[in-house]
């Protein structure tokens, strides 16, 4: 879990429901938060529906509000087809917020409440996601630029090392493809070991794996991992793969952290195939809110929500994606019941 200090008693949260099931799981998350906290919420538009209405998937006033709030609670976004993007300039809401708010660290806890417990820390602003692409019609070639900087690498690697120390982790693994991407991933790998020479990290075990081998090890022997630090695209793919160890994306929370802002979102997409059916799993979003409370240094309340979720899952009170038969709202009802039972403990 996260433990970052944010001063002040009254918190204002920028809420972006987005599209599809984002509009279903975020209200359920607010219900859970209201059970333990008294926040002020600013609801702002972003997403594909917003894009179709105003020609911008994330209006400037949404960005400005996000900057002014203490944190952002983000739902899910439907991304238009590439043919639509070509017709009219489209900017991704989540990528835009990461860039505008300098949310350089993406944290994805992989914990199934039993025997799997590791953290993926991913660089969040560089790599192939810088959005610098072009298409050469004459040559018939599409090209994407991959950016790995020394500054960005040092920043995320230090973040990962410090995270490991703060949360009493024993080992940190760098994931890369430096055998092929010798310059870009070579820089990232070298930075990992250079930073690791700092005396304060001397007791952390350090190793590195190629990304393809890591993909296999995550499924075959996930217990070998503690903290993973990697580049943007690799971290995106590996964390989605790792969600299979939890039962699926409906159980996977995440945090996007910068020096001054935090954004918290479920890993899953907008799931248009189930949107409106009332069966979306709200747990990933609720766990993301739990991480947000840790960010606010409200650790007991964060643990309270997490323990309530754990109890509900172990009792089998889940949506169909986890083999249960409850509706979205019914799962939230169960979690709130557990919170009320646990309040005397935490």
Which residues in the chain come in under a pLDDT of 50? Answer: 1-8
Instruction: Calculate the dihedral angle through the C-alpha atoms of 237, 91, 280, 243, rounding to the nearest 10 degrees.
Output: 10
Provide the CA 29 distance to its chain's centre, in angstroms: 15
Per-residue pLDDT reduced to its tens digit, 158-190: 999 999 999 999 999 999 999 999 999 999 999
Q: Residue 305's Cα: distance from chain center in Å?
A: 18
Q: Retrieve residue 232's tokens.
A: 């943007």
- Look at residue 124 and give its three-state secondary structure: coil
Write down the pLDDT at residue 313: 96
Provide CB contacts within 8 A for 133, sequence distance 6+: 142, 143, 144, 145
Q: What is the pLDDT of residue 42?
A: 97
Average pLDDT over the chain reads 94
Query: How high is the pLDDT of residue 1?
Result: 41
Same-fold call for 1-109+248-346 versus 117-245: yes
Handedness of CA 121, 126, 127, 130 (dihedral sign): positive
Which residues on neighbouring strands pair with residue 133, listed in sequence order? 144
> What pTM, to 2 d.p., does this model score?
0.91
The tokens for 308 are 């309530």
Could you tell me the residue ranges of all domains in the chain?
A: 1-109+248-346, 117-245
Measured CA to CA, the distance from residue 283 to residue 287 in angstroms comes to 6
Quote the CA–CA distance of 15 and 283 in Å, as a whole number.
17
Specify the CATH architecture of the domain 117-245.
3-Layer(aba) Sandwich (3.40)
Q: What is the pLDDT of residue 312?
A: 97
The tokens describing 117, both together, are 């417990």
State the chain's maximal CA–CA distance in angstroms: 69
Whole-angstrom distance, CA of residue 317 vs CA of residue 307: 14
SS3 144: strand
For the chain, the straight-line distance linking the first and the last C-alpha, in angstroms and rounded, comes to: 16
CATH of 1-109+248-346, one of 3.40.718.10, 3.40.50.720, 2.120.10.30, 3.40.50.2000: 3.40.718.10
Tokens matching residue 91: 């900017």
**Number of residues in the chain:** 346
**pLDDT at residue 81, as a whole number:** 77
Q: In whole angstroms, what is the distance from residue 25 CA to residue 277 CA?
A: 12
Sheet of 105-111: strands edge to edge? Answer: 40-43, 12-18, 71-76, 262-266, 253-257, 105-111, 117-123, 227-230, 171-176, 205-210
Beta-carbon neighbour count of residue 120 at 10 Å?
Answer: 28
């Amino acid at each position: 879990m996260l433990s970052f200090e944010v001063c002040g008693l009254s918190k204002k949260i920028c809420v972006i429901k987005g599209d599809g099931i984002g509009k279903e799981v975020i209200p359920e998350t607010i219900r859970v938060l209201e059970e333990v906290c008294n926040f002020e919420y600013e609801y702002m538009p972003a997403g594909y529906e917003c894009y179709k209405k105003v020609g911008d998937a994330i209006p400037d006033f949404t960005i400005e509000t996000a900057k002014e709030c203490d944190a952002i609670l983000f739902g899910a976004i439907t991304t238009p087809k590439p043919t639509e993007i070509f017709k009219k300039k489209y900017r991704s809401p989540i990528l835009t917020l990461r860039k505008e708010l300098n949310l350089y660290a993406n944290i994805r806890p992989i914990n199934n409440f039993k025997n799997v417990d590791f953290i993926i820390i991913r660089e969040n602003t560089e790599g192939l996601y810088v959005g610098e692409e072009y298409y050469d019609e004459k040559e018939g070639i599409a090209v994407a630029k991959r950016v790995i900087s020394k500054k960005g690498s040092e920043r995320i690697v230090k973040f990962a090392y410090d995270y490991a120390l703060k949360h009493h982790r024993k080992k940190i693994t760098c994931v890369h493809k430096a055998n092929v991407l010798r310059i870009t991933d070579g820089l990232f790998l070298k930075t990992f070991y250079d930073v690791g020479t700092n005396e304060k990290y001397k007791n952390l075990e350090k190793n590195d794996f190629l990304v393809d081998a890591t993909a296999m090890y995550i499924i075959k022997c996930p217990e070998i991992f503690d903290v993973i630090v990697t580049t943007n695209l690799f971290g995106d793919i590996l964390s989605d793969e790792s969600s299979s160890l939890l039962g699926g994306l409906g159980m996977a929370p995440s945090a996007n952290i910068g020096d001054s802002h935090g954004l918290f979102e479920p890993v899953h997409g907008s799931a248009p195939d189930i949107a409106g059916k009332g069966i979306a799993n709200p747990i990933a979003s609720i766990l993301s809110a739990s991480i947000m409370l840790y960010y606010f240094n409200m650790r007991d309340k964060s643990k309270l929500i997490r323990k309530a979720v754990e109890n509900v899952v172990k009792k089998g009170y889940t949506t169909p994606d986890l083999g249960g038969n409850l509706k979205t709202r019914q799962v939230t009802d169960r979690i709130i019941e557990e919170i009320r039972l646990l309040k005397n403990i935490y």
